[in-house]
Amino acid sequence: MALATLTEHKVWDRTTRIFHWINLLAMLVLIACGVALLNAKALGATNDGKILLKTIHVYAGYVFAINLAWRLVWAFVGGPFARWRSLLPFGKGYMAALKSYVSGEKTSYLGHNPLGRMAVTLLLIALTVQAVTGLVLAGTDIYYPPFGGMILEWIAAPGVDPSTIVPYDRSLVNPEAYEDMRAFRSDFLFTHENNFYVILTLVVLHIAAVVWTDNRHGGGIISAMFTGRKALSEKPEDAID
């Protein structure tokens, strides 16, 4: 039996690949800090230790949020497979493509396959929710930008310079304002913590789907995120002529 001839296709542009790996590294740091903070009591962490963990978490969050924001912008101006029309599970012919893919009739894609587009959309939504809630929590917890200054103004006791207030020290805060702030914070904290588990689930499913698809249909999905190219034996459904 003759071996199938593979044709190499350019798919992921450099910006998309850089986003992917920065996002992965930032998420690993965020997950490590997040798990440690969720188990701070069991680990015997002191207030100083928790502040250090939260500071690292916040700085990694800045990298994560800026990287994500750039990716969302890139979806308007980037390469053809990085744009919204190749990411979102909508558009002309999408439902027919989804039916063909699920039935196994047409399985060769350069960019995200129809099921992959659903997964990527859910993941981008979850990541955006995590970034937004995280930025709010950074301001309400250890008073970091972009909202920390406003929070300090809110909770400062009369006559107190807000810039002198430090995390875990309530001696300079207005007790009533502080409790109001914590009540405001609670919904963001609930969303942030529970969305964390949603993201973990989506990431695990994403990795499993990539490995399964690469083994079943080929194309070098994993290596393509390093090289930007896929090698396919048949013309992909989303080929750009």
- Give residue-wise pLDDT tens across range 118-152: 999 999 999 999 999 999 999 999 999 999 999 99
- Please count the structural domains in the chain: 1
Domain span including residue 41:
9-232
Mean pLDDT value across the chain:
92
Please answer whether residues 132 and 62 qualify as being in contact, where contact means their C-beta atoms are separated by less than 8 angstroms: no
pLDDT in tens, 152-193: 999 999 999 999 999 999 999 999 999 999 999 999 999 999
Domain contains 241: no
Domain contains 239: no
Domain contains 237: no
Domain contains 102: yes
For the entire predicted model, the pTM comes to 0.91
Q: What CATH number does residue 113 fall under?
A: 1.20.950.20
Domain contains 214: yes
Domain contains 51: yes
Q: What phi and psi values does residue 235 have, to the nearest 5 degrees?
A: -70, 125
Domain contains 4: no
The per-residue pLDDT for 213 is 83
Domain contains 136: yes
